[in-house]
Amino acid sequence: MEEISIGLLGLGTVGSGVVKIIENHQDKLIHQIGCPVKIKRILVKDLNKERLVHVERTLLTTNPAEILDDPDIDIIIEVMGGIEETKIYLKQALLNRKNIVTANKDLMALHGAELLTIASENSCDLFYEASVAGGIPILRSLVDGLASDRITKMMGIVNGTTNFILTKMTKYGSDYEEVLKEAQSLGYAEADPTADVEGLDAARKMTILSTLGFSMKIDLDDVLVKGITGVTKSDLTYGKQLGYIMKLIGMAHREGEKVEISVQPTLMAETHPLASVQDEFNAVYVYGEAVGETMFYGPGAGSMPTATAVVSDLVGVMKNMRLGVTGKSAVTPQFKKQIKEPSEMFSKYFLRLHVKDEVGVFAEITSIFSEQHISFEKILQLPLKDKGLAEVVLVTHQASLQNYEDSLVKVRDLQAVQSIESSYRVEGSANR
Amino acid sequence: MEEISIGLLGLGTVGSGVVKIIENHQDKLIHQIGCPVKIKRILVKDLNKERLVHVERTLLTTNPAEILDDPDIDIIIEVMGGIEETKIYLKQALLNRKNIVTANKDLMALHGAELLTIASENSCDLFYEASVAGGIPILRSLVDGLASDRITKMMGIVNGTTNFILTKMTKYGSDYEEVLKEAQSLGYAEADPTADVEGLDAARKMTILSTLGFSMKIDLDDVLVKGITGVTKSDLTYGKQLGYIMKLIGMAHREGEKVEISVQPTLMAETHPLASVQDEFNAVYVYGEAVGETMFYGPGAGSMPTATAVVSDLVGVMKNMRLGVTGKSAVTPQFKKQIKEPSEMFSKYFLRLHVKDEVGVFAEITSIFSEQHISFEKILQLPLKDKGLAEVVLVTHQASLQNYEDSLVKVRDLQAVQSIESSYRVEGSANR
């Protein structure tokens, strides 16, 4: 092999970054791989559009077949986005025995398992580091660095928009709607923020992370998802008072074949490293049997971080090509999965209620939880300004989700309980 | 190549971990490399000692030549520790064209540059991920993940013993001596803790990290080192009050060819991710031009984390062997270095003084700093219980070390200044 040829699908900000890095680091790349690498062809929608990087006009094409069916092209880099059409292109490329590097999270969360199987059948690599938390070399670490370890739990802040919003709400005591508007004006949130604030984007990333970390075929439907649109100033304030910081946490936990995966607003003990991940930053906390606890922190997105991750994957694929071991990365799911029942999911919970400020109400509530074997780590009761009501804030000890939810149903039925204001998962123990 | 043969130097806790991982993950290893790997011979001091892992008695030898000069052995894994004798062995191995994986921080900090040059001349790999912060894949990330980026600054908590001590002092308001004893009884600190508490261990790790991260030949002597033995409860308390947490920070900063490397107790803004790294954990914060800010967090030591890192390096070396690119890793220093002068080193500083509680003293002090163009971000002045003295705590804005030290000399000479109690570097801005 005298030279490795690449076909690039897409020449937006990430694609331009990839072109720049490959040009600027040609020497480093040759050192690492043992042969030169060049971009042979680039798929674009518009041949005449102004580009962020200088490329020979002759490299550009609007016809995917000129890349997908070119026998000289060894590796396809996909940075065009989209799902269904893109999937067709990548399938075609794999059937033509081309290795693939993609930054496409939506595609990998939905069709990753299928594409990885096709890749494996055709002895091709399909690498997708850049699809999760662009700037953090987390997938590489899961596969390489922790290759000789067994991962039991992952917790991640994997969406920059929601972390930005929750950070500002926590810091300045602002309302959700107010901060969302600020995030939109700064470009941290999209005009339609649904995929971010409802937790779907994070769920897609957790699907990819847990599939790889646990070596199981995890589907998007396996993830319990709750967004941050219902999080209020009061919840943040009480959380802080008790030593907890609100974060949108993606959590994946395995015990043998049994797994539990969720994305939900979670009160993290302020001493936990994830609690100090601020603004638009991302971080993934990994528990390995041999290594113990590690955390990877960095920018979750951005074109240069993502392009850097794409090129790192490219180097990995090229090494494997030259080793003759493409399609053998240990990413094909090895284990069966079984999603846990609510009676098998254990956690601590934060609960905020409005109750009538009367003698005996508190005893009624705690006795319902006692019957379900749930006890409390922290209790706050404060009179509300008017209405003869009191606000009750509870943090439970470990309890099964089943028992906790059964208790909530009974608590809601109590005559003295005005409303269940909020309920969150709690991670770790605060010092206060 | 039908099989890769390994010679192991040392069979203590890390060595035993390596043997276990290679046995238990043989399938995974074959998948990644494309051929089997076996341990051919193990150097030990005592053939009859009981081992943590079962190995064939015939594999053991007390004669290093049986490993170093065996033409069938491709890779040496060094987990025996020690400096001068070990260096002789590794040189011999490199001259015999054997690749090396080592977990030996002291050796690499002192003789790393020389050994790496010999490795390069003999087209051999010399990998040493496990020598720095065992459980954190930081060197791999510096070389691989960030290969296409330029690193400008690194800050690390790279010594578990001192972080344990400072964490306990901060949390419980305990004295240094008290916590040191606790750390010793728990096995977190050695009977002679000098190398840890005086910052030497951290300085060795920063030497290795900055050599690699900046691609410059950094020597141990280039590192300004100050330990934690002088840190008092008062400093921690005032720090906390102002929004800062005391950490022993290894810092390496480069601007072009000019570098500044230090290990010293530093007040970190409590919002900085490094401020929340607790107990014996380690973390390295990296600033890359393209990627931005990333952080790697994990256990700094421990036999299984270290063994895991050794095996990861082993996989890297074996891949390079099969690619025919050993000895070409971009670890040979490429750039010249120039250590910054004190007039070129900028930082914020925390200063605590005891002064006579008289009119005009404070003005005298501030005017000295003003003459050196140093202004203050925070000022506290409190009467001391007796003696007619007051305690003054100052946090400066950015200042050159030269100007700051010149000011201190003049402040110390003031008739009204009783003593300079403490002085620390400050990183980041606290919110309070």
Q: Contact A296/B297, CB-based, under 8 Å?
A: yes
Does the beta carbon of A380 lie under 8 angstroms from any beta carbon of chain B?
no
Q: Contact B299/A293, CB-based, under 8 Å?
A: yes
CA distances from B95 to B71, B91, B116, B178, B313 (A): 12, 6, 12, 49, 20
Backbone φ, ψ for residue B72 (5° rounding)? -80, -15
Does the beta carbon of B277 lie under 8 angstroms from any beta carbon of chain A?
yes
Instruction: Give the one of A17, A145, A312 whose C-beta lies nearest to B147's C-beta.
Output: A312
Q: Let me know if residue B337 belongs to a domain.
A: no
d(Cα B308, Cα B18) in Å, to the nearest integer?
Answer: 7
Instruction: Supply the pLDDT for residue B85.
Output: 97
Is the pLDDT at A142 greater than 60, yes or no?
yes
- In chain A, positions 20-39, which contact chain B (CB-CB < 8 Å)? 21, 24-25, 28, 31-34
Does the beta carbon of A68 lie under 8 angstroms from any beta carbon of chain B?
no
Q: Let me know if residue B432 belongs to a domain.
A: no
Instruction: Supply the pLDDT for residue B139.
Output: 75
Q: Contact B298/A292, CB-based, under 8 Å?
A: yes
Q: Is there a catalytic annotation at residue A181?
A: no
Q: Contact A21/B290, CB-based, under 8 Å?
A: yes
Is B183 in the same domain as B228? yes
Instruction: Supply the pLDDT for residue B77.
Output: 98
CA closest to B137 among chain A residues? A145
Is A172 in the same domain as A292? yes
Is B126 in the same domain as B85? yes
User: How confident is residue A47, by pLDDT bands cut at 50, 70 and 90?
Assistant: very high
Check residues A120 and A262 and name the one with the higher pLDDT: A262
CATH code, B219: 3.30.360.10
d(Cα B52, Cα B60) in Å, to the nearest integer?
Answer: 14
Instruction: Supply the pLDDT for residue A217.
Output: 87
Does the beta carbon of A127 lie under 8 angstroms from any beta carbon of chain B?
no
Across the range A100-104, mean pLDDT stands at 95
Q: Contact B328/A278, CB-based, under 8 Å?
A: no
Instruction: Supply the pLDDT for residue A147.
Output: 60
Instruction: Supply the pLDDT for residue A111.
Output: 93
Is B274 in the same domain as B391? no
Is A168 in the same domain as A273? yes
d(Cα B186, Cα B176) in Å, to the nearest integer?
Answer: 15
Instruction: Give the one of B33, B276, B311 whose C-beta lies nearest to A148's C-beta.
Output: B311
- Boundary of a domain, candidates B289, B323, B357: B323
Within 8 A of B136 by CB-CB distance, chain A residues are: 294
Is B193 in the same domain as B257? yes
pLDDT tens across A343-354, in order? 999 999 999 999
User: How confident is residue A288, by pLDDT bands cut at 50, 70 and 90?
Assistant: confident
- In chain A, positions 282-311, which contact chain B (CB-CB < 8 Å)? 283, 288, 290-299, 302, 304-305, 307-309, 311
Domain boundaries, position B76 = 4-132+303-323
CATH code, B123: 3.40.50.720
Q: Contact B278/A271, CB-based, under 8 Å?
A: yes
Q: Per the structure block, which two tokens stand in for B367?
A: 């005017």
Q: Let me know if residue A165 belongs to a domain.
A: yes
Helices (H), B38-82: 65-68
Check residues A69 and A30 and name the one with the higher pLDDT: A69
Q: Domains in chain B: how many in total?
A: 3
Is B308 in the same domain as B289? no
- Tell me if B393 sits within 8 A of B352, measured CB to CB: yes
Angle between helices A361-371 and A401-413 (to 10 degrees): 150
Q: Contact B21/A290, CB-based, under 8 Å?
A: yes
Q: Which stretches of chain B score pLDDT less than 70?
A: 1, 143-148, 329-332, 431-432
Instruction: Supply the pLDDT for residue A10.
Output: 96
- Boundary of a domain, candidates B299, B315, B334: B299
Instruction: Supply the pLDDT for residue A87.
Output: 98
Across the range A256-261, mean pLDDT stands at 94
Within 8 A of A315 by CB-CB distance, chain B residues are: 144, 147
d(Cα A143, Cα B136) in Å, to the nearest integer?
Answer: 14
CATH code, A421: 3.30.70.260
d(Cα A198, Cα A231) in Å, to the nearest integer?
Answer: 11
The shares of helix, strand and coil residues in chain B, as percent rounded to the nearest 5, are 40, 30, 30
Instruction: Give the one of A31, A145, A323 whose C-beta lies nearest to B312's C-beta.
Output: A145
Q: Contact B307/A290, CB-based, under 8 Å?
A: yes
Q: Let me know if residue B334 belongs to a domain.
A: no
Across the range A182-196, mean pLDDT stands at 91
Within 8 A of A18 by CB-CB distance, chain B residues are: none
Is the pLDDT at A330 greater than 70, yes or no?
no
CB atoms within 10 A of CB B118: 17
Across the range A20-44, mean pLDDT stands at 88
Is B176 in the same domain as B123? no
Is the pLDDT at A375 greater than 60, yes or no?
yes
Across the range A367-387, mean pLDDT stands at 90
The amino acid that residue A41 corresponds to is R
Across the range A48-72, mean pLDDT stands at 94
A186 CB-contact burial (10 Å; exposed 0-12 / middle 13-18 / buried 19+): exposed
Is the pLDDT at A303 greater than 90, yes or no?
no
Q: Contact A291/B304, CB-based, under 8 Å?
A: yes
- In chain A, positions 171-190, which contact chain B (CB-CB < 8 Å)? 171
Report the residue of B25, B281, B282, B294 to disrupt the A interface, i.e. the one with the largest count of A CBs within 10 Å.
B294
On average, the pLDDT of chain A sits at 91
Sequence-ordered list of residues with C-beta below 8 angstroms from that of B54, at least 6 positions apart, any chain:
none
Is B181 in the same domain as B263? yes
Is B165 in the same domain as B82? no
- Tell me if B118 sits within 8 A of B100, measured CB to CB: no
